[in-house]
Chain A
Amino acid sequence: MVDPRDPTATEPDAFDPRWGASQEPSLGPSAEPGPALGAGIGPDRADEAEAARSSAAETPPARDDRAAPAGAGNGDDPVLEIENLSISFFTRLREIPAVMDFSVKVMPGEAVGLVGESGCGKSTVALGVMQDLGVNGRIVGGSVRFKGRDMGSMSQSELRQIRGSQIAMIYQEPMASLNPAMRVGDQLAEVPMIHEGMARKEALAMARQVVADVRLPDPDRILRAYPHQLSGGQQQRIVIAMALMSKPALLILDEPTTALDVTVEAGIVDLVKDLGRKYGTSMLFISHNLGLILETCDRICVMYSGEAVETGSVDDVFDRMRHPYTQALFRSIPLPGANKNSRPLVPIRGNFPLPHERPQGCNFGPRCDHFVDGVCNVTDIPMEPVPGDDRHNTRCIRFDEIDWDAPPAHQAATEETPIGNVVLRLEDVKKYYHVSPGMFSGGDGQVVKANEALSFDARSGETLAIVGESGCGKSTLAKVLMGLETATSGNIMLYDQSIQNTPIEKRGTDTVSSVQMVFQNPFDTLNPSMSVGRQIVRALEIFGTARTDAERHQRMLELLDLVKLPRAFAERMPRQLSGGQKQRVGIARAFAGGAKVVVADEPVSALDVSVQAAVTQLLMDIQREHGTTLLFISHDLSVVRYLADRVLVMYLGHVVEIGSTEQVFAPPYHPYTEALLSAVPIADTAVEKRKIVLEGDIPSAMNPPPGCPFQTRCPWKDRVPGNRCETQMPPMRRMAGGHEIKCHLSDEEFASMRPVFSRAPEAAE
């Protein structure tokens, strides 16, 4: 989209990836939005900031460029007004309140973000708005008004008229939200056919136009396609198109990009913002990702355990939060300023309360650092306005007593882990799969090159991050390392033993126990029908760590101590544990045989943010203690920056960049790394990002493009003369200090690269 060297873009200070960003707000108390807040409204930040500054005075809270929507009702009346909404689900045993006393207002053209961890009720709110709670769910109090009309008192047919025409919804799983047996065109055309009684032909013509609007290539082909023939990103664009077919006044987006890769997500977010502006649609944006909310929304509502705990404009809440939960949330996510040694993350202690075990008084009480007995746990805490701010409310009874700028109490800096000798060395490792055709048809089948010429080494006590999106071959690499697959060629040395051709059955117990793995999905990592203790003991048996049953039992309890779980958990079944606890058991199991190398495959990506911090911290602690080599596979660059010593970026089976964390997060970048960095949403109003949106989707590994693997999406491609990107595989180029990049770009071009992140230009104020 944006030329990376656009001369009109602001040229901020060079950004040091380890730069310690301050948690204090850098803006004054005025309601005037700083330029940084213009983040993500339009494609061009400079103009954006300009516009924001010039008009900020007239329309303080709402974003100026959205304030005059087309056909979204008259300016002052809210499009959606939720008042004291309470929703419960009824099971045979009890009533489970999912949402309690929830109020929010969405003005025309406004985008409101709804943020919270899983189980906090944010999606239930969306369904409550749609009045679609299923058989067990019921609204037990409060009201939902759409354009002044109470949705609760509408008949089914009235609701039907509003759904899809006035309010549209976009969901998390694009594949699941499209009918697999119906052509895309028919699914789109259905909307105007129902609501406007349009003829099929006209409806299809309109669908074609909207498909072009969501920037899909070749709309005619797409309209004729079935959903499964499209990629995930294309499917989500179709879902968005479907929502826009009738130009709704309100769009509800429920985690619309969670299932997508980061670079694809960036494209969708960009699209949503543009369309919102173009059609003047109000939005209710539900997400667990604060960074995304910052990029897309004007106002935010933070939810915790069924309640809204803080609402306000994005700036107020991000920079001057007035609820301990909001603050704890921000302290537990790896913002650019965090560092695993000097400024570690602060996990929120304790666990999310189950709906029927909520405490008396403040729901956040048991986990709150500012809890005062006799104050916080007496009565229900009401939503109170924060004086001085516009529509900024908080559900904390002590918000005016708390010192909001005090640093976190228990933030202990730790020593850096010393990095030792090389433990694992890969040389030119390749893994090809032969995809054979079926039993009866001829042909040779295809070769999938899952890993191409991987070389790197990892030292003891080091964290090496392997970064990439789906299909980049990181999981294959893990399998080869573990011995679940053998390498096609190349060398893997563990200490002085070469293991590339030794499948796991042939590896000695020592080798097996010294290379272990932590898995991604906490709900899958433990055998559901075996007790926690039994699973750890089994690992001990297999690794031959202890001789007698009693010794093994003792060792198992020690492992539980190691991962900071109570010893009583040994008797529990996995289903009695929360996601984070299961992940801890998985870690304990991996360390049962004293692992030297631990491959952690996205170990925290499926966990809630506050739990993520705790599990990450635990991994770091164990590493520090045992000098373990950690291979951290992830797509989340924020986490990677926080904990990795070195980073390896992969794309379609190739290593495209490798270097220390500082090197990879600063220019010169590989063009893919640059785009990846830009795509990661950052929940910090003080950080400015250069926006690079990649076109299209990741090609399939079955059918990679010729030449450079990244050439189908590379924005720098035209700077390489002579078509080399499309024909020749670029060489691995050595930059300064062991930093390597696989690209044809010339040294001058590399030198001209500018950082993706920068500190907000405060001077502009």
Chain B
Amino acid sequence: MLTFLARRLAAIAASALVLTFVVFALTNLDPNLEKLAKGQGSARMSDAEVESWLAGNGYDRPMLTRYGEWLGVLPGWTAEGEDGTVVRGRCIDNAADREIRPRFCGVMQGDWGWSTRFRAPVGEILADRLAATGKLMFWVMVVMVPSALLLGVLAGMREGSRTDRTLSTVAIASTSTPEYVMGVLLIALLASSQAGLSPMLKEWGLLDAPVLFQGNARSAVGDANFWNFTLPVMTVALYGMGYIARMTRASMTEVMTQQYIRTARLKGVPFRDVVMKHALRNALIAPFTVIMLQFPWLLNGVVITEVLFSYPGFGWTLVEAAGNNDIELLLASSVVAVVLVLATQLISDIGYVWLNPRIRLA
């Protein structure tokens, strides 16, 4: 088990390194830097001015060197003023006290850089936003996973039955509805003062506020409640739910045709116990991996939903960073996303082994 873990961790570290480099390279492409220069300086800079701005801010050195600095394995760049003292540098601009001059100030030192969009240290911004997204994700999981498993197990338990057909159709319909469609539908149905349920309810005097649910979740950051948080949570959860439910159903129907299920049935085990004791654990092995690998996908959903509901979380930040060419913030967000995905892969591997006694690890 330990060697397995070590191997997986090594693979993950290698992936993280490669991926962060790719992100770094892509965000630091010349046109992106030019855009950054113009964004920071003025939009009408000449090419020469752009060059000198980039040089003055340390962007003119080789990509690998800058990647090393960003990582924190190479000393941060410095620029000397006319008097020979260090006036500018990667590690200086961001340090609160100019007297303390760390040589290294990269990600490994916990310094994520400076956000040009929000004018604040990237680390701080991300911490806040991640907390907000964490809350959203938590509720999504709470809603999505149990309902998806239940749906899948109920449908897969008796293949071809009416329950199966109905539940499968529900699952297919929900996987066919991406977040940006689901969000639109939910808002139109439940959060519009013009259409859907709200005007009707209002007419009947059942509703005081103009709308039933809120279509804007900005307020949910500080104080999430049923009325402002339901729609974003449902938007993310419903799309993923269909997918997991379908996986669970497929896995469940396969398990239910296995010989050992027949053995159990012919041993006289009541149907409920056949499902609970014999089928479930085997049937959940496959969906477990799926749920875990859902994370990159969930992240998409979160980005879309946060934008749609103006919920300032991680995804919203990512979009802002990308839209405003905030390189350091985009880079940091990417790293967080990639690490999150890789970590879930690791968890899914471990969980798979734990659930499946057939796999033995040296």
Interface residues of A (CB under 8 A from B): 130, 132, 135, 160-165, 168-169, 171, 173, 176-182, 190-191, 194-195, 226, 228, 239, 242, 437-441
Contact = CB atoms under 8 A, between A and B. Distances in A.
Given A164-B269, A176-B258, A441-B6, 16 more contacts: A130-B266, A163-B265, A165-B268, A171-B259, A176-B259, A177-B262, A179-B260, A179-B278, A180-B357, A181-B285, A190-B264, A190-B277, A195-B268, A226-B358, A440-B11, A441-B7
A162 B262 contact: no
Most buried by B among A130, A163, A180, A239: A180
A164 B267 contact: yes
A63 B182 CA distance: 73
Contact of A441 (B160, B269, B362): B362
Closest 7 A-B residue pairs measured CB to CB?
A164-B268, A164-B267, A440-B7, A176-B259, A163-B268, A179-B260, A226-B357
Given A177-B260, A181-B282, A181-B356, A163 B7 contact: no
B293 interface: no
Contacts of A169: 263, 266
17 contacts: A132-B262, A161-B268, A163-B265, A163-B268, A164-B269, A168-B266, A169-B266, A177-B260, A178-B260, A179-B278, A190-B269, A194-B267, A194-B269, A226-B358, A437-B362, A440-B7, A441-B362
Contacts of A177: 259-260, 262-263
A171 B263 contact: yes
B351 interface: no
B3 interface: yes
A194 B270 CA distance: 9
Secondary structure at chain B's binding surface: helix, strand, loop or mixed?
Answer: helix
A181 B259 contact: no
A182 B267 contact: no
A179 B3 contact: no
B281 interface: yes
A232 to B, nearest CB: 14
B10 interface: yes
Interface in B336-362: 355-358, 362
Contacts of B269: 160, 164, 190, 194
Contacts of A181: 281-282, 285, 355-358
Contact of A132 (B265, B270, B355, B357): B265
Most buried by A among B263, B270, B282: B263
Contacts of B11: 440
A440 B268 contact: no
Contacts of B3: 440-441
Interface in B280-311: 281-282, 285
Contacts of A190: 264, 267, 269, 277
A179 B11 CA distance: 33
B283 to A, nearest CB: 10
B154 to A, nearest CB: 17
Most buried by B among A132, A162, A194: A194
A180 B358 contact: yes
A162 B268 CA distance: 7
A180 B282 contact: yes
Contact of A173 (B259, B277, B362): B259
A295 to B, nearest CB: 25
B259 A182 contact: no
Nearest to A159: B268
B267 A163 contact: yes
Contacts of A180: 260, 282, 356-358
Contacts of A239: 263
B10 A182 contact: no
Contacts of A226: 357-358
Contacts of B270: 160, 194
A371 B96 CA distance: 105
Most buried by A among B258, B264, B281, B356: B264
Interface string B242-283: 000000000000000011101111111110000001100110
Nearest to B263: A177
Contacts of B267: 163-164, 168, 190-191, 194, 242
Nearest to A174: B259
Contacts of A163: 265-268
B194 to A, nearest CB: 48
A754 B232 CA distance: 84
Nearest to A156: B271
B149 to A, nearest CB: 16
Contacts of B285: 181
Interface string B92-134: 0000000000000000000000000000000000000000000
Given A180-B260, A180-B357, A228-B358, A440 B6 contact: yes
A762 to B, nearest CB: 45
Contacts of A242: 263, 267
Contacts of B268: 160-165, 191, 194-195
B260 A164 contact: no
Nearest to B282: A181
Most buried by A among B6, B10, B265: B265
B282 to A, nearest CB: 5
Contact of B263 (A178, A437, A441): A178
A177 to B, nearest CB: 5
A658 B356 CA distance: 45
A160 B271 CA distance: 9
A228 B264 CA distance: 17
A441 B265 CA distance: 43
Contacts of A182: 277-278, 281
B24 to A, nearest CB: 26
A10 B3 CA distance: 59
A439 B259 contact: no
Contacts of A132: 262, 265-266
Interface in B1-42: 3, 6-7, 10-11
Contact of A164 (B160, B266, B278, B356): B266
B161 to A, nearest CB: 8
Contacts of B358: 180-181, 226, 228
A483 B260 CA distance: 40
Contacts of A164: 266-269
A165 B267 CA distance: 7
Contacts of B7: 438-441
Nearest to A135: B160
Given A163-B266, A180-B358, A440 B10 contact: yes
